[in-house]
Amino acid sequence: MESRTRVVAIAFFSLISLGAAACKSSQNNSNQSNPPIAVAKPGKWVAQYRSPASLSYSGMNLAVFYYSGISVVSPNVVFVCGDTPNPRAGDERVAVILRTTDGGQHWTDTPVELPRIQIPTLNDIHFISPDVGWAVGVDSGQDGIVLKTTDGGSSWTLTRIGYKEVPTTVFFLDADNGWIGGATAPPGDDEGIGGPSALLATTDGGHTWQSRYNVPISIYRVFFVDKMNGWASGSKGVIYSTVDAGLTWNSQRTEIETGEGAVDLSGDGVKQFAVSGLQFIDKSNGFAGASATEGEAGRLLVTSNGGATWRRQWLVPNAGIKDIFFLNQNQGWVLTDKGVYINYTIDGGRSWLSEPKVFEQDVTLSRIAGADAEHIWAIGGGAVFFRTSE
């Protein structure tokens, strides 16, 4: 039987699917506030990399090779994290980190092995340069850990976060200042996610972490556009924002939050949305993707005023939205948890094109990130996928 750590990871990914967004430098360089509308060019998604060990697996068994976090530094440099079966330990899992420095022509696939510690899973990864990056996950005792590298992943140092929550997302503004969001079990439950958590911050590059703000939800994504303006999204359809570098956080009206008091059985709140996709083009224009945990439904939310108001741009009736990636206010991609297509828009989500995943089975993808329209990757079960134009 797999370890309890993997049970937690499975519970987490079945709801919101985790890992890291494209690194800040790539997103900020390619995002434009008022771009021209792109010309629709059909594309398809091919498996650019599969673990050699996965070649003996087929069907749904491929999902045991799971990639949960991605950081795109440039068109050439990409990092991916996740976990796979441990070839030396039966049913146990081992965390892995993938790296390419040539745009995906070649990948290195390295198990995370440190002295006297077992790391069965990594949930997210974020690099600010080809050399400096962080990854978050848990050890075999369910303690939250942070890995840091300053040599492009050739070596890693480990720090424990010191808080009883599973780190789900990591975001760094620069070499010193970073944030972690985490998940806990709901009150009264021993397992699962969606319980209260703390937003953790560091000012020394991740050597120490402090709780900056306690929230009554689990956090699945953190995103900053600069040192002052940031957002955090999570369970119960909630998005928080800060305009003072994280000293204070305020909840924003999403129209899908659970809310307090009696539940409106005809409203979106009853569906218990998890907001697992979050990206801002600038401090005004942003997108969020959500997946219902009660029933099957997805929502793409859009804001043009920093989240003061969000509108439901796309209502997906029978699938949840796992992640989003936008190059600008118009052009973007959305991952859902059903179907053999990745969704592509050139008008800010008002209409959609379907781009097929070319693979031997319909695997669920969880994260998507890119450097520009020609260099976009999606990850999840089975493989690392790359978008190509037809």
**pTM (2 d.p.):** 0.90
Q: Across the chain, what does the average pLDDT equal?
A: 89
Burial class (CB within 10 angstroms; exposed 0-12, middle 13-18, buried 19+) of 242:
buried
Q: Print the SS3 string covering the chain.
A: CCCHHHHHHHHHHHHCCCCCCCCHHHHHHHCCCCCCCCCCCCEEEEEEECCHHHHHCCHHHHHHCEEEEEEECCCCCEEEEEEEECCCCCCCEEEEEEEECCCCCCCEEEECCECCECCCEEEEEEECCCCCEEEEEECCCCCEEEEEECCCCCCCEEEECCCCCEEEEEEECCCCCEEEEEECCCCCCCCCCCCCEEEEEECCCCCCCEEEEEECCCEEEEEECCCCCEEEEEHHHCEEEECCCCCCCEEECCCCCCCCCCCCCCCHHHHCEEEEEEEECCCCCEEEEEEECCCCCEEEEEECCCCCCCEEEEEECCCCEEEEEECCCCCEEEEECCCCEEEEECCCCCCCEEEEEECCCCCCEEEEEEEECCEEEEEEECCEEEEEEC
Count of structural domains, the chain: 1
The pLDDT of residue 17: 40
Would you place residue 280 in the very low, low, confident or very high pLDDT band (cuts 50, 70, 90)?
very high
Q: Give the range among 129-138, 255-264, 319-328 with minimum mean pLDDT.
A: 255-264
Please give the span between the terminal C-alpha atoms of the chain, in angstroms, as a whole number: 43
Would you place residue 333 in the very low, low, confident or very high pLDDT band (cuts 50, 70, 90)?
very high
> Cα(147)–Cα(133) distance, rounded to whole angstroms?
8
Cα angle 310-125-87, degrees, rounded to a multiple of 5: 130
Residue with the bigger pLDDT between 58 and 363: it is 363
If phi > 0 it is left, if psi is from -120 to 50 it is alpha, else beta; for residue 194 that is: left
* CATH of residue 359: 2.130.10.10
Would you place residue 379 in the very low, low, confident or very high pLDDT band (cuts 50, 70, 90)?
very high
Q: Give the range among 3-7, 177-181, 282-286 with minimum mean pLDDT.
A: 3-7
User: What are the structure tokens assigned to 137, written together?
Assistant: 């996950």
How large is the C-alpha radius of gyration of the chain?
19
> Cα(170)–Cα(198) distance, rounded to whole angstroms?
13
Is 76 a residue whose pLDDT tops 70?
yes
Is 2 a residue whose pLDDT tops 90?
no
The pLDDT of residue 258: 85
Are 299 and 256 a contacting pair, CB within 8 Å? yes
How many residues belong to the chain? 390
Cα angle 121-44-333, degrees, rounded to a multiple of 5: 65
> Cα(246)–Cα(8) distance, rounded to whole angstroms?
28
> Cα(311)–Cα(13) distance, rounded to whole angstroms?
26
- Work out the average pLDDT over 231-253: 97
Show the domain range for 72.
4-389
Is 278 a residue whose pLDDT tops 90?
yes
User: What are the structure tokens assigned to 144, written together?
Assistant: 């939250």
Residue with the bigger pLDDT between 302 and 2: it is 302
Nearest Cα neighbor of 220 from 240, 206, 204 is 240
User: What are the structure tokens assigned to 375, written together?
Assistant: 């260099």
Is 6 a residue whose pLDDT tops 70?
no
The pLDDT of residue 121: 96
- Work out the average pLDDT over 233-245: 97
The pLDDT of residue 312: 97
Is 102 a residue whose pLDDT tops 60?
yes
Residue located via tokens 């999606």: 378
Residue located via tokens 């890693």: 156
The pLDDT of residue 353: 95
> Cα(378)–Cα(370) distance, rounded to whole angstroms?
9
